[in-house]
Chain A
Amino acid sequence: MGRYLLKRFLYLIPIMLGVSIITFALINLAPGDPAELILQADGMELTREAVEALREELGLNDPFYVRYGRWLWNVCRLDLGESFRTGRPVTEEIFYRLPATIELTFAALVFMVIVALPAGILSALYRHTLIDHLNRLWALLGASLPGFWLGLMLIYLFAVRLGLLPVMGRGSLHHLVLPAVTLGFGMAAVYTRILRASMLEALGQEYIRVARAKGLKEKWVIGRHALKNALLPAVTLLGMSFGHLLGGAAIVETIFAWPGVGKFAVDSIFNRDYPVIQGYALFMAVVFVLANLMVDLSYVSLDPRIRLERGK
């Protein structure tokens, strides 16, 4: 187990280096000269001398690897530069908005579990009945429904028509409902299918027959024996799904004017605020990688078979 942990951590180093190279290189795709952009943002006149002086000052005339090295050194000190728009450090701006995004993402996860867990179990227990067919239909719709459209339709129905929930912003629990449902909906459909499949597989195992033969109550057979094993495949995929949630959050936050990192990034894109865009990409990759690491580790500790195999 200890060796596996160490290997897993060491593996992060080349990955994170690669991530940093891509993030840094991306900014070079931007049309136009960063120095000109900064001067424009400051409302300065664009003379050739001023641009050249700023390029020299920013070190833009240095070769790629020098600029990358300098940038990486700053990143290691948590310095992602300053926002062109607000003039404040990018890290500060991101950390300031992170709680809102985390709140939304977790609420979406909670919604997903509340819906997918019973739906998946029922679908497996009552296979080929109406419940199962409805679930299949839902899974199909969930995979085909664009999240941003669902969000708009929910706003239209619950906020505009029925006036039950607030349209936008963050505040009370009421504000959280629509964005969380929008973000979690598609994924809930996916997990219902996954849980259904793994539940069916678990129910077909020998130990279930043994448990039933022992005369255990059905709810114990399902709850303790089948479900526990059926959950494992779903847990492995959670890490990947976390990435979908982070990406989807940018869109959902924009629709609902949710003051999170995603909305900030989208706003920054339209203001061509490159340090923020760069910081956002890097930050999300780090969060995603760490989330996956956590899922991996929890999976290892959940499943003794893997623990033994990898511990060797």
Chain B
Amino acid sequence: MGQSKSPGAGVVGYHAVGILKKQSETGTHGLWTAVLGRLLQDKLALLGLGIILVMVTAAVFAPYFAPNDPFKVDLMQRLLPPQAQYPLGTDHLGRCLLSRLFYGSRSSLTTAALALTAIMLISIPFGTLAGYCGGQVDNILMRIVDVLLAFPGLVLALVIAGILGPGLLNVMLAVAAVRWVGYARVIRVTVLSVKEKEFVSAARACGTSGLGIIIRHILPNVLSPVIILATLDIGRLIIAISSLSFLGLGAQPPVPEWGAMLNDGRSYMQVAPQLMIYPGLAIMTVALAFNLLGDGLRDALDPRGTVRL
């Protein structure tokens, strides 16, 4: 699966070089102003950004927006259709669906953000080390990557989550353990091309240490491909996490989480289809929003649209 095949590696490398060229022409600061300008003209990307902001607001202020207590069980009020007190109806334990959706956005967004953080924490040092050191270090690190890529991603995540045992944190770890690999490859290729730049040679000639060069000159240049990747990937992260949650490996009752809510709701498909319609719609909307924003960001930073994991 490794370097010998992966069609993406060369493409990403090309892409990274393209971005670097742009950065060196305009300076990092100028690049981001230009990107923001282009993004503001992209209506779909703005729509995505808008949806994300609304969702984040909903998650942060869930206690204010939620019409009812999301944990309050009332078996007399179970499986109610939408009505004034319960705008989207109630679930099999008589809990308010809308309130649970609001609180669920907290679990889903936080888990995805944590997973992304974990991915960065592994992939940035790993990719930088491989790209900067080169030689045998690079060789060994990349063989590790090849081995991990030999597993179908979701299969490995499923197995890791399954072995660690149910829990949202374990699902987050499992997804991060699988997905960091793609980031590490992109970062490595970017570092490989940055370290050949003149400003790196100049810094080295000035006596800057290896670590200093990495922190001051290389990492800032790794930023933009990583941001594109992360934005494009977060929708997939949310879907992957909610898939595992749907299987019962993630959030445990009574914690509201969209994937787990779908799993609870599916048994009541015939009597209360809203229980599985709305959580799924919520997952799709967030994923769609991030994809729209990611597409826009990629178009703005990389018009050829060549970056992919």
Q: Which residues of A contact B (CB under 8 A)?
A: 7-8, 11, 14-16, 18-19, 21-22, 26-27, 29-31, 140-141, 143-149, 152-153, 155-156, 160, 233, 236-237, 239, 242-244, 246-248, 250-251, 254, 265-266, 268-270, 274, 277, 280-281, 284-285, 288-289, 292, 296
Residue in B5, B146, B259, B276 whose CB lies within 8 Å of A156: B276
In the complex, chain B residues whose CB is within 8 Å of the CB of A153: 276-277, 280
Q: Is the interface of A mostly helix, strand, loop or mixed?
A: helix
**Residue B93 interfacial (CB < 8 Å):** no
B260 CB, min distance to chain A CBs, angstroms: 12
B111 at the interface (CB under 8 A from A): no
The size bracket of the interface on B is 35 or more
Tell me the nearest residue of chain B to A19, going by C-beta: B150
Within 8 A of A (CB), among B249-267: 249, 259, 262, 266
CA A164 – CA B181 in complex, angstroms?
Answer: 43
Write out the residue numbers on chain A whose beta carbons fall within 8 Å of the beta carbon of B164. Answer: 29-31
A237 and B162 alpha carbons, distance in the complex (Å): 28
Which one of B68-76, B79-87, B124-132, B152-160 is at the A interface?
B152-160
Decide: B154 and A30 in contact? CB cutoff 8 A. Answer: no
Interface residues of B, Cβ cutoff 8 Å to A: 1-2, 4-5, 7, 143-144, 146-148, 150-165, 235-236, 239, 242-243, 246-249, 259, 262, 266, 269-270, 273, 276-277, 280, 283-284, 287-288, 291-292, 295
Which of B143, B162, B239, B269 makes the CB contact (< 8 A) with A146?
B239
What residues of B have a CB within 8 angstroms of the CB of A141 in the complex? 284, 288
Q: What residues of chain A lie closer than 8 Å to B158, measured between beta carbons?
A: 247, 250, 265-266, 269
Mostly, the B contact residues are helix
Q: Are B165 and A152 in touch, CB under 8 angstroms?
A: no
**Could you tell me the distance between the alpha carbons of A254 and B248 in the complex, rounded to whole angstroms?**
11
B269-A155 in contact (CB<8A): yes
Could you say which of B2, B153, B159, B287 contacts A15, with CB atoms under 8 Å apart? Answer: B2
Residues of B within 8 A of A144 (CB): 235, 239, 284, 287-288, 291
**A15 and B280 form a contact (CB under 8 A):** no
A288: contacting residue among B5, B7, B152, B287, CB under 8 A:
B152
Closest to B148 in A: A22
For the complex, give the distance between the alpha carbons of A270 and B5 in Å.
36
| 4 extra interface residue pairs, beta carbon distance < 8 Å, beyond A156-B269, A243-B151, A244-B153 | A30-B163, A149-B276, A153-B280, A292-B5
Residues on the A chain within 8 Å of B269, using CB = 152, 155-156, 160
Q: Which 4 A-B pairs have the closest CB atoms?
A: A247-B154, A18-B147, A269-B162, A149-B280
Chain B hits for A8, CB < 8 A: 4
CA distance A274 to B4 in the complex (A): 33
CB distance from A203 to the nearest CB of B (A): 18
Beta-carbon nearest neighbor of B265 in chain A: A152
Q: How far is the CA of A148 from the CA of B276 in the complex (A)?
A: 11
Contact status of A15 and B147, CB under 8 A, knowing A156-B269, A269-B249 = yes
Q: A29-B164, A250-B158 are in contact. Are A18 and B150 (CB under 8 A)?
A: yes
Given A152-B262, A248-B154, A251-B243, A29 and B163 contact (CB-CB distance below 8 Å): yes
Contact A140/B288 with A18-B150, A250-B155 known, Cβ cut-off 8 Å: yes
In the bound complex, CA of A148 to CA of B240 (Å): 10
Interface pair A246/B152, CB less than 8 Å apart: yes
User: Most chain-B Cβ atoms within 10 A of its Cβ — which of A26, A148, A149, A266?
Assistant: A149
Q: B165 contacts which chain A residues (CB < 8 A)? A: 30-31
Complex CA distance for A186 and B28, rounded to whole angstroms: 36
B7 near A237 with CB under 8 A, answer yes
A26 to B287, alpha carbons, bound, how many Å? Answer: 30
Q: Are B287 and A146 in contact (CB under 8 A)?
A: yes
- Also in contact, A274 and B163, with CB within 8 A (given A237-B7, A266-B247, A292-B5): yes
